[in-house]
A and B are shown apart, each in its own frame.
Chain A
């Protein structure tokens, strides 16, 4: 299961993993990490899963768009 960066709070990053949340030092993450990035943990540290991030974001964006259009 992948981790998702919910948000940054100053020097910390709040990660969602399943139903749990974890707070880690932001500097542990790759410099280019952004809110919403999906991550996994490897022998080399945190790795951003760009394709997984983009596909999930696209799926949720499309769903939101449909819901909003359904109200118009």
Chain B
């Protein structure tokens, strides 16, 4: 029989000291402001955003994106004005980490959960997560029957969605919904006729006040090209980008990035993963636009915060454990 290597599973279980981190952040912020670190000139260079790079965990910011360090997979918590959306739930082995993370944020019911596409490293954790927290709306992309997975993971995902009692909706380009005061537009898929599951990824454009965030699932360059051909490209300029497909060289093509021109980028992938994620070539493409490229495999949970009163954004990590 062929040699098979069991996939390593990796979860993180230690608790965080929210109070200490919060105090540290406040003190460092005050010191930075007093010392004049953020001059008017620097603010203009940073599109009126203030940037703090330091250890942090939880904030009261009105808009938050938490790219949870789930190893090789995706799970991203988005919160706007107190309403919450979980984009993907990684592999089953990461569900304890995700549940712990949601508990730490005092989340008992999610307003939305999104399954960007039906691979196990994106939907595997949903059964246990949806057993631990309530859910109002479950969203996924349209996709054709010929791409329906045959995995037990997929069947368990359907079981969990059904048991949750959530409203279950398949979405495509042109659909939209709101999360707090954030407006969320579906950029892709344009139809159910994508030829691979990665390219069925439900791609979301989230606009909150003056900023835009784009979440890409495992979208590859064919789906990027479809977006470029179907969506007003001016709508693609983004403050924050979750790079597609764990930073693989299948994604984050130059034509797409030229329109997005991200100021902050997060890549979710596992330490020493077999697949070579993220690709060095992709990192080079991304760093042509910003030095603010954060990788969960290196920096742990990656957190983007925005406060609309001060028009300030922060990109933070809690460090690897």
> Footprint of B on A, CB under 8 Å?
4, 6-7, 9-10, 12, 14-16, 18-24, 28, 35-38, 41, 45-46, 53, 56-58, 60-61, 63-64, 67-68, 70-71
Contact = CB atoms under 8 A, between A and B. Distances in A.
A22 B148 CA distance: 20
The prevalent SS among residues of B at the interface is mixed
A36 B1 CA distance: 21
B15 interface: no
B205 to A, nearest CB: 23
Given A14-B120, A36-B151, A45-B2, 4 more contacts: A21-B7, A22-B6, A22-B7, A36-B150
Contact of B147 (A16, A19, A35): A35
Contacts of A64: 148, 158
Contacts of A45: 2
B274 A23 contact: yes
Interface in B104-151: 119-121, 145-151
Contacts of A53: 150
B187 to A, nearest CB: 21
Interface of B: 1-7, 91-92, 119-121, 145-155, 158, 161-162, 167-170, 196-198, 248, 274-276
A60 B147 contact: no
What 8 A-B pairs come out closest when comparing CB atoms? A22-B4, A61-B145, A9-B275, A21-B7, A61-B148, A16-B151, A56-B150, A4-B151
B274 A6 contact: no
Contacts of A4: 149-152
A24 B150 contact: no
17 contacts: A4-B149, A4-B150, A6-B153, A7-B197, A14-B7, A16-B120, A18-B152, A22-B5, A35-B196, A53-B150, A56-B150, A57-B145, A60-B150, A60-B154, A64-B148, A67-B168, A68-B170
Contacts of B161: 67
B6 A21 contact: yes
Contacts of A23: 4-5, 7, 274
A1 B161 CA distance: 25
A38 B154 CA distance: 14
A18 B152 CA distance: 7
Contacts of B274: 9, 12, 23
Contact of B169 (A7, A15, A60, A71): A71
B150 A57 contact: yes
A58 B276 CA distance: 34
Contact of B149 (A12, A20, A36, A67): A36
Contacts of B7: 14, 21-23
A14 B275 CA distance: 11
Nearest to B161: A67
Given A35-B147, A35-B197, A41 B1 contact: yes
Contact of A6 (B119, B169, B170): B119
Nearest to B275: A9
